[in-house]
Each structure stands twice: as C-alpha cells, then as structure tokens.
Amino acid sequence: MTTALILLPLAGAMLVWVAPVARHLLGPLAFLVALTEVALWITALGRFDFSTGGLQLDQRTSWFGDLSVSYHVGLYGFSLWLAGLTTVVAAAAIGYACWARRERPRAYFGLMLFLLGATVGVFTAQDLLVFYVFFEAMLIPLYVLVGVWGGPRRVAATVKLIVYTMAGSLLMLASIVVFGLSQGTFDLVESGVSENDWVFLGFAVAFAVKAPLFPFHGWLVDAYRQAPPELAALLSGVISKAAVFGFIRIAIAKFPGPADDFQVTILALAAFGLVYGSLLAFRAPDLRGVIAYSSLAQMSLITMGLFAFSDLGADGAILQAIAHGLVSASLFLLAATIERRTSTGEFAHLGGMARGRPALATVLITTGIIALAVPGSAAFAGEFLILAGVYSVGWGWAVVGATGILLAAMYMLRLISAVLHERGGRAVPSAALDLRPAELALIVPLIACLLALSAWPAAITAHSFVTDVLK
C-alpha cells in the first residue's frame, strides 16, 4: 500500500515521459495521476488503524545485506498526514500547471509527478538510506523545474538552492554512514539511539537547511521568487516539511542526548528566525517575498514546537505543519493568479483588486485570516499547542512565540490590504477578471481542508502518534 503510494506517481512520470500522447493531453494525464494518488491516500487513510498507532502498512525488502540496508517504508500517524498534505497540494499544483499551460509539458509534468513520488517516499521512509535516496531524489526535479521554467533570475536561484541543500545533504550522508555502521543497521525501526554530537549535527544541519532555519535560509527567497508559482507552493507547503519529518523521525528520535544538549541552541535559532522572518515578511515589497519570509517564520515556529520535547509541542507542530502547508500552497497559488492578471507581484503596483472581484477577495481574505491564526482556525490551534509546549521549557520561549504570532497578523493584513484594498494599482487593468472557475476549483479544496481542520483540529493532534517514535 505504501509502496503503491510511492510508485504510482513515479509510474505516472514514466508514462508522461514516454507515452505517445498529444502534448495538450499530457497535463490532464498528469492531473489525473495526481488525483488518483489522492484517492489512493484516502484508501490508505481508511486502512490505517487509528486505535493502535505505531508503524502501519509497512513493507520491507532487503536491498543490500552486507551493510543491512533494506527498502523499508511504512506509515506512522504523522507520516500519513504529511503524505496526505503532499498528495493534496501536489494535485492542486499540477492542476494549476495544467491550467496555466506550461511549456515543454512532457518534461514538466513528468518531473512534477517524479517530485510527488519522491516526496511521499521521504515521508514514508523507515530506513536511513531509503530516506536519503528520496531526500536527494526530490532535489533533482526541483533543480530542473526551477532552472528551466523559473523566472528571469532562475539560474542564480538554482545555484543557491543546490549549494545550500547539497551541503546539508552531504553532511547528512556522512552522518548516515557513521550512524548506520556503528549501529550495524540502517533500519530506523531496528536501530537504537546514539549519543554522538557530531553525527546529530550532520542531520540537524541538513534539516535546518531544508526547513529552513536561520541562518541557513539564504536560498529561500530566490527559490520561492524564481520558481514557477505552483512549484513554489509545493516547495514551501510540502517539501519544507521533509525537515519536520527528519527532525522527528531521526534527529530527535535517534539522538535524544545530543538533541537535549542542543535544545537551547536550536530553540534560540528558531525563535530568532521566527521574529526575524516575520519582520522581513512585513518589509517585503512583493507577494512572494511575504509568503517566503512568512514560511521561514512558520517553519521556525514548528521547529520550536518539535524541540519543546513535549506531547503538546509535537502534536501542535504536526498540526501547524499541515496547516501551514495548506495555507502556504493556497497563498502561492493565489499569488500566481494575481501575477497572471497583473504581470507583477510588487505591492507598489498592486491594490484595489477587491473591486469587482468578489471571489478573489473572499478566497484571499479567508486564507489570510487563517494564516494569521485567528482564534478558531487550524493555525490558531497549532500555534496554541506549540506555545503551550515551549512554555514548559521556559516562559521566555512562549513570549517570543506569541510575538511571532502577533507579527504574523501584521504582515498578513498588510498583504491583504496591499492587494485588495487601497487605491487601484497601476498594474491592475480594470479588465482583469475575477478568479476563473478552474482556479477556484483548485484553490477552494485546499481552503476547505483548512476549514475542516479548523473545525476539528483533533483529527490530527489526536491521531499523529508522534510519541510512537519519541519513546
């Protein structure tokens, strides 16, 4: 079942690459595969036994025995939710790309499906090498997708993205070799815990780059600004969550001692990143800049929750990861629709778009309100739990966290008013249409998921079973 979740998009990618199908049908074909993937995930959700938790639907086959490496995949509660986030956001992203008619569709949609498969693989990996393989496999399509279909300064963005990510990944590879050989197995379920600070740091840096945490966020803004918008949605909404999975499943679960030693350092970096990212988001001159820096802030907040080492913090972090994934993806897709109408994301040229465009205004405001964690929203529940978690570490952390949430309200309201309200921007032609039904059909489901989580946050907090791996 889990293998099917990984293989379906990969097989779909192969199909898109080689099938003799007319070019204009490739996008719909990829979208169909992505929707099937969502359906498959719903089936997995149905098969998952929430009364027991633990590792479920797992599959294991020996890969090479002399180093005890096996292809081992399976789902914990939180993996299931992260995989679900991946399938849903990827379906919306591929749908959007299909609607926006990207050039060279064969390569584009194949790579998007490949990226989807690799990302699901990361969230389900139960062997360190399998994890690394999928972690790296995500990077290959990302590199090309940004480098070929990105904005005007895409090459510089890809170089930064690759340099940062690979520096982290290679440190992780060295750590994996040392950890796996010293444990005698690379299997995450079988291996014990390690007390080696250096090995822990190798993993922690890799995940800190992926998240990103301050000061490893240098690649973030360029990548989010230059990537095609639906890819930016995937990148900030889903792929950054690989860091969340890595922190939980490897850095904290396998290195309780070192994680404890570095708790204050990481909390401090995350707290700083939260405030710093929020302030930058408040100052950013364009749509994507705000979303990118808010992503930095939110990922920092999630990391704070994880490193609170309490059930509250961890459950809150998972809920917040899912909520932020959906929010961020919706915002990037909305940014795409706005850029499509005005050819710019600069606030200086935007404004007054609410007039005559009720659907756009409603959807953007709803997403924005959830993003700024208004009480009753999923983001509020997540942030509340995270704050409660870090409060048990020290009240100061909770104060910084609360400041960050306050700043979130500032930058989100600024974004909303700069786009929708104020005087009509120069770049906004009066003929620019409201959201089309196709666009609504892609964004509204994401928001519906958010509203559902707002109504029932316990769907995730009570069913993520993070403690299964943190025993």
Partner 1 sequence: MIPTPNVDWLALSPVLALLGASGLALLGAVLLPGSIRRGFAALITGAGFVSAGILAGVVFGESETARTVIAESMVRDRLAALAQILIAGAGVLASMIAWGERRRAHGSEYYSLLAAAGAGMIFLVSASNLMTLFLGLEWFSICLYILCAMDSGRATSLEAGLKYLIIGSFGSALLLFGSALVYGATGELGLGSIAEAVSAQGLAGDELLLAGLALLITGLGFKASAAPFHMWTPDVYEGAPTTISGFMAAATKVVALVLTLRVLTVAFPEQEHLWTVAVAVLACASLAIGNLAALVQTNVKRLLAYSSVSHAGFMLIAIAAANELGGRALLYYLIPYGSMSLGAFAVVAARERELGRAATLDDLAGMGWERPFLGVAMWTFMLGFAGFPLTGGFVAKLYVFAAAYEAGWWWLIVVGVVATAVSLYYYLGVVRALYMRSPAAGLAVAGGSPPRDPWLLAAVGLALAVTVGSFFFVQPLIDVARDAVAALPL
Reported as half-sphere exposure (CB side, CA atoms, 13 A), residue 219 has a value of 28
Cβ-based nearer residue to partner 1, 147 or 218: 147
By CB under 8 A, residue 65 contacts partner 1: yes
List 143, 197, 340, 468, residue binding partner 1 (CB under 8 A): 143
Token pair recorded at residue 227: 């990537």
CA distance 294 to 274: 8
267 contacts 304 by C-beta, under 8 angstroms: yes
Angle at 459 between CA 259 and CA 401, to 5 degrees: 45
Token pair recorded at residue 413: 């309201």
By CB under 8 A, residue 443 contacts partner 1: no
By CB under 8 A, residue 201 contacts partner 1: no
Backbone angles phi, psi at 346, to 5 degrees: -75, 130
Q: What is the CA radius of gyration of the chain?
A: 21
3-class DSSP state of 73: strand
Binding letters toward partner 1, positions 102-141, x by CB under 8 A: --x------------------------x--xxx-xx-xx-
Nearest-10 Cα torsion for 396, 399, 405, 406: -140
- Please report, for residues 25, 252, 432, 447, the alpha-carbon distance to residue 429 in angstroms, rounded to integers and kept in the order given: 32, 51, 5, 27
Cβ-based nearer residue to partner 1, 246 or 425: 246
By CB under 8 A, residue 147 contacts partner 1: yes
Residues in the interface with partner 1 (CB under 8 A) total 34
Token pair recorded at residue 224: 């989010």
266 contacts 201 by C-beta, under 8 angstroms: no
By CB under 8 A, residue 437 contacts partner 1: no
Near partner 1 by CB under 8 A, which window of 35-43, 172-180, 302-310, 346-354? Answer: 172-180
Q: Where are the beta strands (DSSP E) in 26-68?
A: 56-64
Cβ-based nearer residue to partner 1, 62 or 343: 62
Cβ-based nearer residue to partner 1, 69 or 280: 69
List 162, 297, 336, 442, residue binding partner 1 (CB under 8 A): 162
Q: Count CB neighbours of 64 within 10 A.
A: 10
- The least distance separating partner 1 from the CB of residue 146, rounded to whole angstroms, comes to 10
- The least distance separating partner 1 from the CB of residue 177, rounded to whole angstroms, comes to 5
Non-local (6+) Cβ contacts of 139 within 8 A are: 162, 165, 166, 169
List 67, 374, 410, 459, residue binding partner 1 (CB under 8 A): 67
List 4, 7, 32, 178, residue binding partner 1 (CB under 8 A): 178
CA distance 44 to 80: 8
Cβ-based nearer residue to partner 1, 154 or 249: 154
Near partner 1 by CB under 8 A, which window of 26-34, 78-86, 161-169, 381-389? Answer: 161-169
Near partner 1 by CB under 8 A, which window of 62-70, 244-252, 272-280, 300-308? Answer: 62-70
Cβ-based nearer residue to partner 1, 32 or 148: 148
Binding site for partner 1 (CB under 8 A): 62-67, 69, 104, 129, 132-134, 136-137, 139-140, 143-144, 147-148, 154-155, 158, 162-163, 166-167, 170-171, 173-174, 177-178, 181
